[in-house]
Structure 1
Amino acid sequence: MPEPAPLPDPCVRNAHWRTIQFLLQNVFSFWLRYRARGLDHLPPHGGALFVINHQSFLDPLLVGLPLRRPVSYLAREDLFRVPVIGWILRNTYVMPINRDAASTSSLREAIRRLQHGFYVGIFPEGTRTETGQISPLKPGFLLLLRRTEVPIIPVGIAGAFQAYPKGRWLPWPGTVRVVFGEPLSRDDLQKFSRDQEAELLAYVRRRMLDCQAAAERWRTER
């Protein structure tokens, strides 16, 4: 097996990331009245794993937009073959994953990036919501929770589903809020044995629901 390529500095955004971030900060602030809070919960150095609810195709952009460090995401392998989109993914730290197979190599790469100091973002529902609510979580990501000691940050997005649900070609104007929650307690996580997978998934989902509810209250407040 060939050695993996050396990783870049996890605290430095490359030119592609900075350009996309600059353009979208202006567009989303106007079109989606975008705001984020809870950034004080993120470590300034070292890795962190973001567990994010999945409302729309915009979600990776919405989470990365306010950060001064890049986020490395997992994305469907077939997206890398799409013109333009594939080029963007390859140049913005995204890792391919085959959702139809046990992609242990992708999870190993995610662990490597976390240990190297990257922020890594995952969507444990596995696909975008069709109702706006957080669906039951898939268990594949639990390996990342158990194999790394980085902070686990729940992230809640509200308003992206209303602006850009499945089946819509372009996002409508709206109000989008993102809330970064407090890290999951390592003591709480260690209480769950390997036989308590369902209970651990429910615990992580509750923390994600708390963040989404906070984002929704913020989005609708007058």
Structure 2
Amino acid sequence: MNLYPLGKFLISTIFYPLYRIEVTGKENFPKEGGVLLCTNHIDNLDPPVVGITCPREVHFMAKEELFQMPVLKSVLPKVQAFPVKRGMSDREAFRTTLKLLRGGKVVGMFPEGTRSKTGELGKGLAGAGFFALKGDAVVMPCAIIGQYKPFKKLRVIYGKPIDMTVYRETKASAEEVTEVIMSEIGNLLKQNK
């Protein structure tokens, strides 16, 4: 049972007025095909905010521990989230991600791997570059700007898709591609301060 549309509706009715969410660049988002959606990570509420502002359904990797919590373990799979073991190579999460991307779905990830304590953009992990190269998908950079404070503006900016063709052809490394992705997210943050 897919609860994503219901969840999106319910969260939207609360979050849009509460955080005065303003979305820019939705028109940049590909209407079809696999998309790796890469976003900076400033708060635990980032996944639902990206989920309600993105024009397409997003499948999020979520840390495995969340799937062991009583209510979340039954809800998360119904809103298209899937578990990933942090800090180690998780073959099952890798397979799931590639299958989704190659199947024309949107996979959301936070390349930093964890929330930024300072709000500044951290270093991206090579996993983002790996999926960008192997997933047969375009990469969408996204920036969340602001603070999760009631009635203060929170902005979500979708950049232009990054075509991975040249990086695949030149056999760029996962690390190099991650740097490109983080640079694009960084540019969105700088241009929209």
Q: What's the TM-score once normalised by structure 2's chain length? A: 0.90
Matched, 1:40 2:18: no
CA distance in 2, matches of 1:54, 1:98: 18
Partner of 1:181: 159
Q: In structure 2, what is the equivalent of residue 202 of structure 1?
A: 179
Q: Which residue of 2 aligns with 1:134?
A: 121
Give 1:143's match in structure 2, choosing from 126, 130, 136.
130
Taking the aligned partners of 1:118 and 1:17, their CA distance within structure 2 comes to 14
Aligned position for 2:57: 70
- 5 Å-filtered alignment, 1:1-222, equals 14=2, 16-159=3-146, 162-163=147-148, 172-190=150-168, 193-194=171-172, 197-214=174-191, 216-217=192-193
Q: What percentage of aligned pairs have identical amino acids?
A: 26
Aligned residue-pair number: 193
Query: Following TM superposition, by how much is the alpha carbon of 1:205 offset from its aligned partner in structure 2, in angstroms?
Result: 1.1
Alpha-carbon spacing, 1:129–1:23, altered in 2? closer, same or farther (3 Å): same
State the TM-score, normalized to the length of structure 1.
Answer: 0.79
Cα distance change, pair 120–54 in 1 and its aligned pair in 2 (3 A): same
Structure 2: 5+ residue stretches without partners: none
Give per-residue Cα distances to partners, 1:19-56, cap 9 Å, x unaligned.
22112212112110002121111221222110110011
- Partner-residue secondary structure (3-state), 2:61: strand
Match of 2:100, as an amino acid? R
Deviation at 1:68, TM superposition (A): 4.4
Report deviation, 1:172: 4.1
Structure 1 residues 82 and 189 mapped into 2: Cα distance closer, same or farther (>3 Å)?
A: same
Secondary structure in 1 matching 2:153: coil
Q: Which runs of 5+ in 1 are unaligned?
A: 1-7, 9-13, 164-170, 218-222
Higher relative contact order (CA 8 A, sep 6+): 2
What RMSD in Å do the two structures reach over aligned CA positions? 2.0
Contact 1:114 1:120 survives alignment (8 Å): yes
